[in-house]
Amino acid sequence: MIMSQPHTIKLIEIKQLRPGMYVHDVNCSWMDHPFVTNHFKVKDAQRISEIKALGVHELFIDTAKGSDVEGVPAKSSDDFRRDVDSRMAEIASEIQAEPQRVDLTQEVERARVLHSEANRIVRNLIKDVRLGKQVEMEQVEPVVENIIDSVFRNQDALLPLARLKDHDNYTFQHSVSVSALLVSFARGLKMERPIIKELAIGGLLHDVGKAKVPDEILNKPAKLTDAEFARMKSHVVQSILILQNTPGISQIALDVAGQHHERFDGTGYPNKLKGEEISIYGRMGAIVDVYDAITSDRCYHKGMAPTAALGRLLEWSKYHFDPELVRAYVKSLGIYPTGSLVRLNSGRLGVVIEQHEEKMMQPKVRVIFHAENMRYLPPEVVDLAWPGYPDKIIGHEEFDAWNIDPKRWLD
């Protein structure tokens, strides 16, 4: 999470919000609100009512750009980053090692081919639905099996590709990412493979109802009208209707598609389900869907760093998500997920390329940049788990802050 200026950002309760304040961050996923950005001046009580209606309990204000609240401490961007890193370190101490995985170099090329093929299949499925055709499970199941196999062999090959999206194909690419991330999540929870398969199918098809939403609404780079936001949210009901008429679909897959916008505190949609009224599969789908969305670039939304996104999920789990499942999700991805930009105590920046599941704070990193000297370095892969290696991770960074193109280092 990047804050605009040091020591001007405050986290306040929604009841403290007043006209004249400047909202720095609505403190919910951009998918859950109709505003074109997360930051804006609160002009009147109507805007406050709109924010409350979203189910927001707390939000961030910028006191340099609007009115202040007495008695609430301000924080700098470094403070927030340290808070996230501290919580991640706590979770890291709870992680247990998984069985030995296939060497990353053996899986990378297979994962790239699979990622491309999966995106093609989902794109064709959406086109077919737009033409009134039925979803054919014969197309879905083979690619899902391949996704599961790849993640089980070594998830560090396929999961970083989840961040590589372009604006025109976001819906297809997001669906593939959610499917792969759900496999990793379910594997971390030690679910049986038949259940993991149905979860992955649900992830791949969870947004199929967007085929019934006009592109001008899906990709609108401006504030949605109330009618447009309602139309956007209708994609969940459309997904349910489409999948209920799909031969061979399971209840698990339906739960993922039908409940991924429900929220643990009952503020979600379409049915405002609360707590365990939402199946575990729907709760898992909600966590993964939001994580992938907020780490992805859109024409009106800049994706945040994976570790920062996990920090936001932990923060939102006070209200919107199952807190135990969020902690389990963090463990499944790693404290610094593959593809993250991290700072080492030497002042160098590197991209995490592979996890050590027994040493989550000491992954393999491709060092690329020196933060203190402000220059690129010859890329060098270092294993922070090597005995006696002098460098260690001291925190996560944002690619944008250093003008580093993540696609150059993730593909």
Give the tens place of pLDDT for each residue, 109-144: 999 999 999 999 999 999 999 999 999 999 999 999
Task: Give per-residue pLDDT as tens, 159-180.
Answer: 998 877 877 688 889 999 999 9
pLDDT > 70: percent of the chain: 94
234, 22 Cβ separation under 8 angstroms = no
CA–CA separation, 295 vs 308, rounded Å? 9
State yes or no: pLDDT of 195 exceeds 70.
Answer: yes
**Six-digit token string for 141:** 């199941």
With bands split at pLDDT 50, 70 and 90, how would you rate the model's confidence at 6? Answer: low
Give the per-residue pLDDT at 326: 96
Contacts of 209 (CB under 8 A, 6+ apart): 234, 235, 236, 237, 238, 239, 240, 241, 242, 257
Give the per-residue pLDDT at 65: 92
CA–CA separation, 209 vs 235, rounded Å? 4
Average pLDDT of every residue of the chain:
89
With bands split at pLDDT 50, 70 and 90, how would you rate the model's confidence at 98? Answer: low
163, 296 Cβ separation under 8 angstroms = yes
